[in-house]
């Protein structure tokens, strides 16, 4: 099984069930999961992270990067992210952190986005392989990536969030604004996305 490091970005134990859902789903699609925390990860040797794991998944967070106090807590973590050379998938707040780490911009969304919503796929690259042109995925965010980082391209969009997904042009780095781990039988696209990352990208 592929060794996947899942990094907790939640700052409160109140959201432990959300994080556990992500961990369980990564395991379900074939990942052998290790867990770290956004405050612990920057204390690790990047070479150890890059040699020990096939891929890294960054969780969502209830923190807001547009809030000064919250942003300050993530500075070391955001500065550490560019040192990771193995494949990375950022989910919701992890997507936003990945964008910030590589020179993008995050802004408050016009209004909170919640529930299963339709997302249009623009680039059927490896992460989105095998999916139709439009999918329904779970949304739960109050911020969004407004400006993509240099060398990143948009791979998904929606009527309420311009940058629903992104990938680096040269490196295996991906971010999705939605929550692929919260799939269900009626809306299974999230499972395929996690499968693609764990089984096809994190090699």
- Domain of 65, CATH number, reads 3.40.50.880
Percent of the chain surpassing pLDDT 90: 94
37, 7 Cβ separation under 8 angstroms: yes
For the cut 90, the answer to whether the pLDDT of residue 123 exceeds it is: no
Task: Out of 96, 164, 181, 195, pick the active-site residue.
Answer: 181
Contact 139, 116 (CB under 8 A): yes
Give the model's pLDDT for residue 124: 76
* CA 1 from centre of chain: 21
Active site residue 195: no
pLDDT bucket at 168, cuts 50 / 70 / 90: very high
pLDDT tens-digit series, residues 17-43? 999 999 999 999 999 999 999 999 999
Which candidate in 92, 143, 164, 168 is catalytic?
92
Does the pLDDT of residue 6 top 80, yes or no?
A: yes
Task: Compute the average pLDDT of residues 116-129.
Answer: 92
pLDDT score of 1: 74
Does the annotation count 179 as an active-site position? yes
Task: Determine the pLDDT at residue 203.
Answer: 87
Range of the domain at 181: 2-201
| Whole-prediction pTM | 0.97
Average confidence (pLDDT) over 44-50? 97
**Number of domain units in the chain:** 1
Cβ atoms 19, 69 nearer than 8 A: no
Can you tell me the distance from the alpha carbon of 61 to that of 162, in angstroms, rounded to the nearest whole number? Answer: 20
Q: Which of 96, 168, 179, 195 is catalytic?
A: 179
**Tell me, what's the pLDDT at 31?**
97
User: Is 54 one of the annotated active-site residues of the chain?
Assistant: no
What is the model's pLDDT at position 125? 77
Question: How far is the C-alpha of 107 from the C-alpha of 147, rounded, in Å?
Answer: 9
Q: What is the mean pLDDT of the chain?
A: 96
CA distances from residue 6 to 22, 49, 198, 201 in whole angstroms, order as listed: 8, 12, 12, 15
């Amino acid at each position: 099984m592929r060794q996947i490091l899942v990094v907790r970005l939640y700052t409160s134990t109140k959201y432990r069930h959300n994080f556990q859902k992500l961990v369980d789903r990564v395991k379900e699609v074939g990942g052998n999961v290790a867990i770290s925390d956004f405050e612990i990860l920057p204390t690790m040797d990047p070479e150890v992270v890059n040699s020990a794991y096939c891929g890294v998944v960054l969780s969502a967070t209830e923190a807001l990067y547009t809030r000064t106090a919250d942003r300050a807590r993530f500075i070391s973590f955001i500065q550490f992210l560019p040192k990771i050379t193995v494949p990375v998938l950022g989910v919701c707040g992890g997507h936003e952190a990945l964008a910030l780490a590589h020179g993008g911009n995050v802004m408050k969304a016009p209004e909170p986005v919640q529930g299963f919503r339709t997302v249009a796929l623009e680039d059927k690259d490896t992460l989105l392989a095998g999916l139709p042109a439009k999918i329904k995925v779970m949304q739960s965010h109050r911020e969004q990536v407004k400006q993509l980082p240099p060398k990143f391209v948009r791979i998904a969009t929606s009527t309420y969030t311009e940058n629903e997904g992104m990938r680096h042009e040269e490196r295996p780095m991906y971010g999705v604004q939605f929550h692929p781990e919260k799939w269900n039988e009626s809306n299974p696209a999230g499972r395929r996305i996690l499968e693609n990352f764990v089984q096809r990208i994190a090699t």
